[in-house]
Structure 1
């Protein structure tokens, strides 16, 4: 399996997006969303990856909330 430049960019944007949500940083969220919206394929893959990251976090910690920091 080969890894495309779009896939790498979207995975990075998904992680940055989740990091922005966890830090409650609207500027980071906007920057990650803009980076992931470069093309439709990248945006779709970023949403898929962000959804997977969120699902894994919720399964690991049922008290997880994107509105509060994960670490204090």
Structure 2
């Protein structure tokens, strides 16, 4: 999964929201709670976890969101 956003572009209301990984139809594959404001390094680490990669692979692609804000995906 590739991230296509600068952290400064994430709305303040979403920066501490859970990280959602959704399939290409919008169904939630993984919900990862926040432990404070997300950093790029923390996002990359969580998206690289084996369980997340397995979900994305099984779904054939996915998008990542902080709250409702799209931050990246596999199809871009």
TM-score (norm 2): 0.29
Structure possessing the higher radius of gyration over alpha carbons: 1
Q: Which has a greater percent of helix?
A: 1
Q: Which has a greater percent of strand?
A: 2
Higher relative contact order (CA 8 A, sep 6+): 2
TM-score (norm 1): 0.30
